[in-house]
Amino acid sequence: MSLRDEAAELDALDPLAGKRAEFDLDPELSYLDGNSLGAPPRGVATRMAAVVSEQWGRRLIRSWDEGWWDAPERIGDRIAPLAGAGPGQVVVGDSTTVNLFKAVVAAARLNPGRPEILLDAGTFPTDGYIAESAARLTGHTVRRVPVAEMASAAGSRTALALVNHVDYVTGALHDLPGITAALHSAGALAVWDLCHSVGAVPVRLDAAGVDLAVGCTYKFLNGGPGSPAFLYVARKWLPSFDQPLTGWAGHADPFGMTPEYSGRTGISRGRTGTPDILSMLALDAALDVWGDVTIEQVRAKGLALGDFFLKCVDALVPGARVVTPRDHGRGNQISLAWPDAKTAMATLIERGVIGDFRPPEVLRFGLAALYVRYGDVLRAVEELRALR
């Protein structure tokens, strides 16, 4: 069977094939960049038109009491199952960067007397920037450690470790339960960045005993550019969770206008300022695509897409260096080392295959299982062959 025939057969048998129709995507486009910006679900535009014309346009300020004010917690509870969290532990709002700051400082305060923060050495840059800034504020030092050495590096001085679940360059999937258990054995807390895993691979925060976590919603959750991020706090830490950005929306009586701060109970204490209602409700609408699928189905297809991608690479561009793990120890992403990756990706995009690159030489292809087709994978590799 040819690769083209195999791709056609896989697409015909794909149980998630019908989901692509729920996204506003050009049928001629092969979109493999959902690990940077997810495609828009069709229902978002309709929902946003109603939000603007009816809720904002007709109800005006009354809408705050008609679903706007509690949106951060309500939408957090919608995301929670995708992160393996029970209700009341996830709140939506602010950016990933802001939530990282809250989580790192709060974790340091929860585990006093330990002067060190461990940081994933291959982390996305903003995680490092925030860790360093939080450390200056709290009097900690930051030590960068490869994730493979994180378990052995933690010791009596370690307050917490900030780790990425999926490496943003290579796509390697890290051992969240194992690393969390090792950190706990050393008396340290585990703070996880889920930006490249939530909505792509199963995440089981509660089962693994994770302390705090953050994640974005504009990648595999398709919330739209700049859609608000989320913050997870384990239930056992909620009573003592002390985050540094004590804005009015996290106040126990936000409309009391008292000069002293008193935090709300539960996950609502993670809120800061006025919620970004338009982007938050766009995210709410985008989450509807998960109504009839499970993360396990998405993961199964993501791995199958990746396996087929690797098969195509081996057949059509032999010798290309794959930097993503070939086994299933990866997220829903394939990365290749490629000369002049920036120019190569620009050429692919001109030819209707959209991925992205990371300097100096990595091409990244996101395999968002809700809308990526096996035919898209084959097309991407065929276009790579044409670049040689």
199: which residues sit within 8 A by CB, 6+ positions away? 38, 82, 219, 220, 221, 222, 295, 298
The yes-or-no answer on residue 120 being catalytic is: no
119 and 84 co-located in one domain: yes
Which domain does 221 fall in, by range? 67-290
100 and 219 co-located in one domain: yes
Q: Which of 290, 317, 341 is the last residue of a domain?
A: 290
- Tell me which residue has tokens 């057969």: 9
Alpha-helical runs (H) found in the chain = 3-13, 42-50, 71-79, 96-110, 125-138, 150-153, 176-185, 205-208, 277-286, 295-316, 341-350, 374-387
- The domain that holds 166 is classified in CATH as 3.40.640.10
277 and 315 co-located in one domain: no
pLDDT block averages, 10 residues each, the chain of length 388: 97 98 97 98 97 98 97 98 98 98 98 98 97 97 97 97 98 98 98 98 98 98 98 98 96 94 95 97 98 97 98 97 97 97 97 96 98 98 96
The yes-or-no answer on residue 70 being catalytic is: no
Q: From the candidates 219, 269, 330, 379, which is the catalytic residue?
A: 219
The distance of Cα 8 from the centroid of its chain, to the nearest Å, equals 30
Nearest to 179 by CA among 199, 206, 154, 207: 154
How confident is the model at residue 176, as a pLDDT?
A: 98
The yes-or-no answer on residue 255 being catalytic is: no
Q: From the candidates 31, 168, 218, 230, which is the catalytic residue?
A: 218
How confident is the model at residue 388, as a pLDDT?
A: 87
The yes-or-no answer on residue 261 being catalytic is: no
**Count of domains forming the chain:** 2
Q: From the candidates 20, 78, 330, 364, which is the catalytic residue?
A: 364
Residue 111 falls inside a structural domain? yes
Do residues 189 and 110 touch, judged by C-beta distance below 8 A? yes
Do residues 193 and 164 touch, judged by C-beta distance below 8 A? yes
Q: From the candidates 167, 193, 276, 376, which is the catalytic residue?
A: 193
Do residues 174 and 147 touch, judged by C-beta distance below 8 A? yes
Where on the phi/psi map is residue 340: left (φ > 0), alpha (ψ -120 to 50), or beta? left
26 and 97 co-located in one domain: no
What contacts 24+ positions apart, CB below 8 Å, involve 340-348?
344/384, 344/387, 347/383, 347/387, 348/380, 348/383, 348/384, 348/387
The yes-or-no answer on residue 236 being catalytic is: no
Q: Is the pTM of this model over 0.95?
A: yes
Task: Determine the residue type at 277.
Answer: I
Q: From the candidates 23, 124, 220, 371, which is the catalytic residue?
A: 124
Q: What is the DSSP letter of 314?
A: H
